[in-house]
Amino acid sequence: MLAAHGCPEALRSLSYGELKELADEIRAFLVDRVCATGGHLGPNLGVVELTLALHRVFDSPRDSLVFDIGHQSYVHKLLTGRAADFGSLRQEGGLSGYPSRDESVHDLVENSHASTALSYADGLAKAHELTGHTDRRVVAVIGDGAMTGGMAWEALNNIGGAPGRPVIVVLNDNGRSYAPTTGALATSLATLPRNDGGTNTGRNLFTDLGFAYLGPLNGHDTAALEGALRRARSLERPVVVHVVTVKGKGYRPAEQDEADCLHAVGPVNATTGRPDTAVALSWTDAFEQVLVELAAEREDLVAVTAAMLRPTGLWAMAQRYPRRVFDVGIAEQHAVTSAAGLAMGGLHPVVALYATFVNRAFDQVLMDVGLHRLPVTFVLDRAGITGPDGPSHHGMWDLGVLATVPGLRIAAPRDAYRLRSLLREAVAVRNGPTVLRIPKSATGAAVDAVAQVDGLDILHRSPRRPLDVLLVPAGPLATAALEAVAVLEGQGLGVTVADPGWILPVRHTLPTLVARHRVAVSIEDNIRTSGFGTALAQACQEAGVATPVTSLGLPHTFLPHGPRSALLTRAGLDADGIARSARRALAAASARPPCSSSTPDTGSL
CA-closest candidate to residue 300, choices 343, 255, 341? 343
The one-letter amino acid at 259? A
Q: Is 247 marked active-site?
A: yes
Q: Is 590 annotated as a binding residue?
A: no
Omega within 30 of 0 (cis) for the link into 61: yes
Q: Is 112 annotated as a binding residue?
A: yes
Q: Is 324 marked active-site?
A: no
Q: Is there a contact between 560 and 568 (Cβ–Cβ < 8 Å)?
A: no
How far, CA to CA in Å, does 475 sit from each of 204, 407, 422?
Answer: 50, 21, 11
Q: Is 430 marked active-site?
A: no
Q: Is 114 annotated as a binding residue?
A: yes
Q: Is there a contact between 520 and 501 (Cβ–Cβ < 8 Å)?
A: no
Q: Determine what percent of the chain falls in helix, strand and coil, rounding each to the nearest 5.
A: 40, 15, 45
Report the 10 Å Cβ neighbour count for 188. 12
CA-closest candidate to residue 378, choices 429, 418, 417? 429
Q: Is 339 annotated as a binding residue?
A: no
Long-range contacts of 224-228 (CB under 8 A, 24+ apart): 224/196, 224/197, 224/198, 225/49, 225/50, 225/53, 226/53, 226/56, 226/57, 227/197, 227/198, 228/198
Q: Is 71 annotated as a binding residue?
A: yes
| CA 354 from centre of chain | 5
Q: Is 145 annotated as a binding residue?
A: yes
Q: Is 195 annotated as a binding residue?
A: no
- CB-count exposure of residue 53 (10 Å: 0-12, 13-18, 19+): buried
Q: Where are the beta strands (DSSP E) in 50-101?
A: 64-67
Choosing from 33, 90, 247, 440, the catalytic residue is 247
Q: List all residues 6 or more positions away from 176 whose beta carbon is below 8 Å from its beta carbon.
A: 144, 145, 247, 260, 261
Choosing from 82, 249, 360, 516, the catalytic residue is 360
Choosing from 49, 110, 255, 332, the catalytic residue is 332
Residues in binding site for Mg(2+): 144, 174
Could you give the residue numbers annotated as active site?
247, 332, 360
Annotated binding site for thiamine diphosphate, which residues? 71, 112-114, 145-146, 174, 251, 332
